[in-house]
Structure 1
């Protein structure tokens, strides 16, 4: 499930430099071409580009990029297991021979996978593992939000409590990342993308 989820998730530009960036995070650009490729990949069949929808999606994509930046700052990209997983995926991608290794799409796909795995690993560390393993904090969360569970006993709604607690942890974490990293959105470039 992990691999399938990641492949469908997000991508980056793979080191390609383009003239126009739709955003930057700590001076690291998100190119318009990268963002548009990701958006279209995840919105197949959608003919028109709506500025409001693009802006909302860019907000989600920035959150993703912040998690990747944090994973890198924690050194997760230097982990040997991570490197082996990426190498294995690249070998499989080359063996399929569906996308030539010297195309921008290949670079997008590889970075999508690289960053997707980093995002998964850092979320496992910062959110999912914490919510699953700390019964005391889960029960405290349940008690503080009992009205949301209609008086049902903790054991009966544990799965829902875990999901809700994970959402709270993620929201708090993303807010802290948005404070930690400098984010610039290029509104003019975002507007131009609606004409593509």
Structure 2
């Protein structure tokens, strides 16, 4: 009887732990609280959203987190310049009374900044620099997609070509990341957050 009781308690606790997550990446949970904090922050504090809007935003957020995970796997979080930047930001953040008074907000703001810097640094390496600095690849992309660039020559449309090539590189990167790191979305939990 005691063993059954312990299993039931464990099961309820275990289920409850996962019940508050909207997703997981590579087995690591993405909490509802974290997701809604980011959503509200990027939507002028408004949390009233339809399920489809939350689902679309969650996919963007998961892509962001995948890029951060990739940066960590590559050791970007150990880079001296990165560590110095984070240390300086944390010192500046402590001086802001509104944020430093609330431990949870302070932690979320600091974590968001750390992740944003990692995402920026790895995106620069894997997408932006490749599109802007590899002339051969850019010309090859242009040649393969000439039908879309009828309005001008490579030189005349170079800015648009770079932008389009960056989009392709990013999509390919995200597809590769989703294959490398399993992503699970807990739709039932996401539906609980929908207000419309």
Query: Fold conserved (TM > 0.5)?
Result: yes
Residue 180 of structure 1 corresponds to which residue in structure 2? Answer: 180
- Provide the rounded CA distance (Å) in 2 between the counterparts of 1:47 and 1:27: 27
Q: Distance in 1 between matches of 2:45 and 2:115?
A: 25
Look up the match of 1:14. none
TM-superposed deviation, 1:102: 4.9
Which residue of structure 1 aligns with residue 157 of structure 2? 157
Are the equivalent residues in 1 in contact too, given 2:19–2:189 (CA < 8 A)?
no
Q: Where do 5+ consecutive residues of structure 1 fail to align?
A: 1-16
Q: Larger helix proportion, structure 1 or 2?
A: 2
Q: Unaligned 5+ residue runs, structure 2?
A: 1-16
8 Å CA contact 2:39, 2:47 repeated in 1? no
State the Cα deviation string for residues 167-195 of structure 1 (Å, max 9, x = none): 00000110000000011111111011114
Query: What TM-score do the two structures reach when normalised by structure 1?
Result: 0.87
5 Å-filtered alignment, 1:38-77, equals 38-44=38-44, 46=46, 48-77=48-77
**For the pair shown, which has the larger CA radius of gyration, 1 or 2?**
2
Provide the alpha-carbon RMSD of the alignment: 1.7
Please give the alpha-carbon distance, in whole angstroms, between the structure 1 residues aligned to 2:181 and 2:158. 34
2:10 alignment partner in structure 1: none
Q: Return structure 1 stretches of 4+ with deviation > 4 angstroms.
A: none
Q: How does the TM-score come out when normalised to structure 2?
A: 0.87
